[in-house]
Amino acid sequence: MKKALASVMIAGAMAASLTLFGCGGQPAATEKKAETTEQTQTKTDTAQTNTTKTETKSGNQTAAGQISQEDAKRIALEDAGVNEADVTGSVRVMQDTDDGVPSYDVDFLVGTTEYEYDIDATSGVILKVKSTTEDQSSAGQVSQEDAKRIALEDAGVNEADVTGYVKVELDTDNGVTKYDVGFHVGITEYDYDIDATTGAILSRGSEIDIDD
């Protein structure tokens, strides 16, 4: 009976040894702990890699910085639907801050229309836009050449057909500044009153001029 009891004790000890050390002779709990540590390290490395990618992306955005003045000018002109060649004078571009946001002020004149843009200096988004058409009166008086051209076009004649000018004079009639334009085409004399501010034809007339 003692031998049987000893055999049972030896068998139990061997089973416990196999459970503790595993088939490879190493403690099973130690292997599991090492595996868990390795998985944790892998996750940590992955997290660090993701962090590095995020930092790199952020760094690229910062390196790009603000858009250039040329970009701001291009954005404004494209939105207005005009070419730079159409601009009277030059395009003015100045750095500014709009409600704490870095921006560009872009101003230019096309004909009698003035355009004003506020453009986000980082994203290129148009923050504000304004266009104002100047009154013709503020643009100043039309020239004598303009008045003469208006009269000739209305009469339907070319300047080469004109046999002589009677007058192209600046005058005032009832508070309105105007040009008196008179010219001959053959034996016909034309008379025009043209608004010196707007270029509008105030009156027109023609008559046959036959010398005695």
pLDDT in tens, 193-202: 999 989 999 9
- C-alpha 49/C-alpha 26 separation (Å) is 33
Is 104's pLDDT higher than 50?
yes
Q: What is the mean pLDDT of residues 101-109?
A: 91
Q: Would you state the structure tokens that stand for residue 89, as one six-digit string?
A: 């004078």
Indicate whether this model's pTM tops 0.85.
Answer: no
123 band by pLDDT with thresholds 50, 70 and 90? very high
Give strand ranges (E) for the chain: 88-98, 101-110, 113-120, 126-133, 164-173, 176-185, 188-195, 201-208
Give the residue from 187, 182, 179 showing the smallest Cα distance to 209.
Answer: 187
Question: Please, where in the chain does CATH 3.10.450.40 lie?
Answer: 69-133, 144-208
The pLDDT score that the predictor gives to residue 66 is 86
Q: Which residue has the higher pLDDT, 57 or 143?
A: 143
**Residues 195 and 176 sit within 8 Å (Cβ to Cβ):** yes
**Once rounded to an integer, what is the mean pLDDT over residues 139-152?**
84
Whose structure tokens read 């003469």?
148
- The CATH class, in words, for 69-133 is alpha beta
Assigned CATH class of 144-208: alpha beta
Burial of 196 (0-12, 13-18, 19+ CB in 10 A): buried
User: Quick one: which of 62, 63, 75, 64 has its CA closest to 105?
Assistant: 75
- Looking at 96-206, list the stretches that DSSP marks H as alpha helix, in order from N- to C-terminal side: 144-155
Q: What is the pLDDT of residues 42-91, one digit of tens each?
A: 554 544 444 433 333 333 332 246 899 999 999 999 999 999 988 877 89
Q: Which residue has the higher pLDDT, 114 or 210?
A: 114
Question: pLDDT value at position 58?
Answer: 32
